[in-house]
Structure 1
Amino acid sequence: MAGCSNAIEPGADGGAVGTAAQVASDAAKRLSDNETLPTTIGITEPLGEAPAASRTVYWIAPNIEVIQAQTEGFEDATDTLGWTLVTLPVDSADPQAYASAMKQAVSQNADFIVASGASADVYGDGLDAARSAGIPVIDEYSTDEPGGEDNGIYANVGGTAYVEEQVGALADWVIADSGGTGKVAFVNIPDFPILKAAGEAVSAQLATCADCTLVPIDASVADLTGGGIPQLVVSTLQSNPDVEYVYLSFGDLYSGLDSALEGAGLRDKVKVLTATLSPSQSALVASGEIAAGVPNPQRYASWVAVDAMLRLDQGMEIDQDEHTLLPVPIFTQDTVPSPPGEWAGPEGYEAQFAALWSLEQ
């Protein structure tokens, strides 16, 4: 359901072959499955029995705007089950925040813990505490490999394979749109492990295009929270006047960018595209202000994480591919749904999950 594979394995030999036109044609073919919205969820096996009536889920939520949809998705999924959700906000720039929150969840007898955008080395002794207490941890948007009892992490929704699909598709869009000659500045925050993997995937994908050029802009969490991203982009574009595309690794990086580009006289010289397109940014795709973007179905991702918890609760196997890969549609002016807004996931995904979970709707 994530479409055909657009991503090249980071570190693989991505040597480009063929003319620019052929490379662009190949990229366009790879994008064919990203042009339509999926209608079904990616999980197919029903639960073995009705869900337990009461469980408590602790959700460790980093303090960035894009996380709000995930929180609301967890609220909806746990409400559907009659479960209790406890949300623990954390400061992404604080290296101890995740571990402290995880230990708090353990001390308060969580049944499940879910965290987003971090990794096992960041969880540290918090993950050790969860493992010792027998509390499963579910990752979202992490580079961790689920190891179950071996490492305490039982699923990784939207993990590395999904991110490689997502950013690889947008890199292919640049290759196809530019006729195989795209010059792109990729704006990223590699302090987040999953975004470091995204940067590697973009680099590998663009390496298949001999006449394409990648200019990395590696920012920090402080740059994001302090509003420094727009000036970093403007300065880079002024130093690299041949750049034609500004590619953002996630939608929050767009804040303030349009006005900064306009003020520097650069707005009409570049096309902006972004992974993890926010709901409000879909309207900007419709107007042409953002050329292309991949919506991240974060509400749906939260339901996928809860589905993994249900399967653990019943001693069932988790299909890691089904629980890692999310849909990767690309929105442009021609394909963005009307009216534009949040794309939460396949239409009717809540009812489809309820049917898998043997719930009456």
Structure 2
Amino acid sequence: MINFKKRIVAISITSALVVAPLVGFTSSQAANAADSCPDALAKAQKAVAAATAVKAPWDGPKTGPKAAKKKTIIFVAQTMQNGGVAGAADGVKAAAKAIGWKVRVLDGQGTAAGMASATQQAVTLKADGIVIGGFDPATVKAAIANAKKAKIPVIGWHAAATSGPQPSLGLFSNVTTLRSDVSKMSADWVIADSKGVGGVVIFTDSSIPFAEGKSQEIKAEVETCASLKLLEYANIPIGDSISTLVAAKTAALVAQYGDKWTHSISINGGLYITPMAAALRAAGKKGTDFPHNVGAGDGSADEYQRITAGEFQSVTIPEPLTMQGWQIVDEFNRAFAGKKASGYVPVVHLVTKANAGTSTVWDPQNGYRTQYKKIWGVK
């Protein structure tokens, strides 16, 4: 496997963010900031301020097999309500069109039974390749074993904590940013923004190992600042009832903690912060009031809209969803040719109101489409 140097690329936060008191802070809170967690705070401020937005050159693969012919990929989605999953699926469709393949999406509808059934259906339909889109491969172990028997390569998107081959999970490769980088950056932004004073709620789905692992990493980084209080670790499953459950939890948190709840970090900004925003608005909050909300993936269009409007979301750490879709297709093409996975790890990026502009998606301007088409020998 080719080892690419990992790069963390983030948008720099303005000096006002790092230095000025938070809106809503009392004078005593501002004074206490100086006595908060100086080492962790300095480290977080440095990490956030040093992260820069650049038009980075392509740092992915530059060589590989030419395009295989007449392939059909089935993308098994955890749920198409998840903007990250849907965005990755759209990226696969775009890349498949470029390389001359077909794509079909099967929706697991956010349930274990639905995902297992959809994965097995993909095997039964004799897909040339199967994508595990945003859920734990261990939950569909039998179907993946059947895919292996049928010599169908399986590739994950956000199916494991790291990018690259995952033989123990039955994956030819897994496409994702480095989860720990996303987790750390989300927590570091909160430490820097709060100056080490405030109360944090983490929203997660503990039934999904990837999500639970991310939220535990977030928790560990938040706890490097001893003066920040972790108010709650809210386990709310991603599924049809998520909006209702998050809205109810938000109302309860506001009633219990008031402005002591200064920040939230959600493992998926679109699914959690959307209903949270509605509940905060209903509670009489203004868009820039506490809590300041962070999306630790996936960077959906509604997140960008909230950030630019100053409406109940401060930052997001988006995935380059379209580019990852192209990488998935490239990894399949390598599998079909009997080659190793590329091992490419996409960059991590932080979006704020200061730099979001008019974009509604993180689509790196590094020429990845041209590079992949060049590798495949297509126009």
- Which digits, 9 at most, give the CA deviation of each residue in 1:6-53, with x for residues without a partner? xxxxxxxxxxxx962332121122234543145344422411x42112
Give the corresponding residue for 1:286: 308
- 2:76 paired with 1:76: no
Query: What percent identity do the matched residue pairs reach?
Result: 21
> Are 2:38 and 1:21 equivalent residues in the alignment?
yes
CA distance in 2, matches of 1:227, 1:108: 36
- Which secondary structure does the structure 2 equivalent of 1:154 belong to? strand
Of 89, 107, 110, 1:89 maps to 107
* Correspondence 1:247 to 2:265: yes
Secondary structure at the counterpart of residue 295 of structure 1: coil
- The CA RMSD measured in Å over matched residues stands at 2.4
- Are 2:334 and 1:329 equivalent residues in the alignment? no
State the Cα distance separating 1:194 from its structure 2 match.
1.2
TM-score by structure 2 length? 0.82
Give TM-score, length-normalised by structure 1. Answer: 0.86
After TM superposition, list the pairs within 5 Å mapping 1:178-257 onto structure 2: 178-214=194-230, 215-222=232-239, 224-225=241-242, 227-241=244-258, 242-250=260-268, 251-257=270-276
Greater shift after overlay, 294-303 or 346-355?
Answer: 346-355
Give the gaps of 5 or more residues in structure 2.
Answer: 1-5, 11-34
The offset of 1:262, in angstroms, is 2.2
The 1:35–1:235 alpha-carbon spacing in structure 2 relative to 1, beyond 3 Å, is farther
CA distance, structure 1, for counterparts of residue 290 and residue 196 of structure 2: 18
Distance in 2, matches of 1:181 and 1:261, equals 21
Structure 2 CA distance for partners of 1:107 and 1:256, relative to 1, 3 Å: closer
Q: Give the equivalent residue in structure 2 for 1:3.
A: 8
Which residue of structure 2 lines up, in the alignment, with residue 9 of structure 1?
A: none
- Within a 5 Å distance, the mapping from 1:108-147 to structure 2 comes to 108-143=125-160
Instruction: Give the match for residue 22 of structure 2.
Output: none
Match of 2:291 in 1: 270
User: Matched residue of 1:221: which SS?
Assistant: coil
Where in structure 1 do 4 or more consecutive aligned residues deviate above 3 Å? 32-35, 144-151, 222-226, 345-348
Distance in structure 2 (CA, Å) of the matches to 1:36 and 1:133? 44
Q: Which piece of structure 1 moves more, 25-34 or 125-134?
A: 25-34
Q: Aligned to 1:96, what secondary structure does the other structure show?
A: helix
| 1:225 CA drift (Å) | 4.1
Contact in 1 for aligned 2:319/2:362 (Cα 8 Å): yes
Aligned residues: 340
Can you give the 5+ residue segments of structure 1 that lack an aligned partner in the other structure?
A: 6-17
Matched, 1:258 2:241: no
1:149 to 1:258, Cα distance in 2 relative to 1, 3 A: closer
Q: Using a 3 Å threshold, how does the CA distance of structure 1 residues 256 and 304 change in structure 2: closer, same or farther? A: same
Deviation of 1:180 (Å):
2.3
* Range with bigger deviation, 341-350 or 143-152: 143-152
Distance in 2 of aligned mates of 1:35 and 1:28? 13
CA distance in 2, matches of 1:152, 1:244: 42
In the alignment, the residues of structure 1 paired with residue 130 and residue 51 of structure 2 have an alpha-carbon distance, to the nearest angstrom, of: 32
Alignment check: 8 A CA contact 1:119 1:144 kept: no
**Could you say what secondary structure the match of 2:172 adopts?**
strand
